[in-house]
Amino acid sequence: MSLRLVFVGPPGAGKGTQAKVICERYKIPQISTGDMLRAGKKAGTLPKELIDTMAAGGLVPDQAVIDLIAKRIDEEDAKNGFLLDGFPRTVPQAEALNKLLADRGSKLDTVLALNVAASLLIERAVLRRTDKRTGQIYHLKYNPPPPDVNPADLEHRADDHEEVVRNRVETYEKMTADLLPFYKKVGLLQELDGVGKVEEVTGRVLGALESIKK
């Protein structure tokens, strides 16, 4: 079965954590514009203005991420579907995505929005650590890395500090004020509670995906 979905949620909501489960189950790639931008930064190909925007928790220009997505969805592994994590974030991005898909004779199946109160997000993001060898996401309090993981391999994102997380949450709230109604109007939006144990949230997410009528 093919599945083309957009995963929306504030920073630290658990999108990356849940995306891993969905992608394994549906055999689709997780496409994260944040990961692609960070890879560009590491490779030295990301312009300085974009690095600065990310460091401050703002949004990079629409066209920069639209270009990344346009290329990525044509790769072989995305032919049968994909999970978009962190894209679209604005209505112009959502409109561009509709057009990219329509040009390829396809469309989105659903948009999942993971809701988590702002008060919980700061702690989730600030204590997030990612194993740079495997991409595994940990949380120092809720999902601590096992003792055999070398602490030197655990990455703390440059923008996962309290002040920047606050800015990112604020940016998210402004952006969703337009983006969620855009998807609601066309009947694609499913809002889910992202609070609770990881497995509980996974149950809600998989339930929502199974309910899609194709």
Where do contacts with ligand ADP occur on this chain (CB under 6 A)?
Answer: 9, 11-17, 32-34, 37, 53-54, 57-60, 65, 86-89, 93, 124-125, 128, 137-139, 142-143, 168, 196-198, 201
Three-state secondary structure string covering 120-170:
HHHHHHHCEEEECCCCCEEECCCECCCCCCCHHHEECCCCCCHHHHHHHHH
In angstroms, give the least distance from the CB of 32 to ligand ADP: 6
Other Cβ atoms less than 10 A from the Cβ of 2: the count is 13
In angstroms, give the least distance from the CB of 185 to ligand ADP: 20
Using the minimum distance from each CB to ligand ADP, give the nearer residue, 124 or 189: 124
Q: How far apart are CA 70 and CA 194, in angstroms?
A: 29
Using the minimum distance from each CB to ligand ADP, give the nearer residue, 1 or 25: 25
Grouping H, G, I as helix, E, B as strand and the rest as coil, residue 212 is coil
Using the minimum distance from each CB to ligand ADP, give the nearer residue, 3 or 114: 114
Grouping H, G, I as helix, E, B as strand and the rest as coil, residue 189 is strand
Active-site annotation, residues = 15, 89, 128, 157, 168
Nearest C-alpha neighbor of 140 from the set 27, 11, 12, 34: 12
In angstroms, give the least distance from the CB of 46 to ligand ADP: 10
In angstroms, give the least distance from the CB of 33 to ligand ADP: 4
Q: How far apart are CA 187 and CA 9, in angstroms?
A: 18
In the bound state, the residue with its beta carbon closest to ligand ADP is 34
Grouping H, G, I as helix, E, B as strand and the rest as coil, residue 116 is coil
Using the minimum distance from each CB to ligand ADP, give the nearer residue, 34 or 81: 34
Using the minimum distance from each CB to ligand ADP, give the nearer residue, 48 or 214: 48
In angstroms, give the least distance from the CB of 29 to ligand ADP: 15
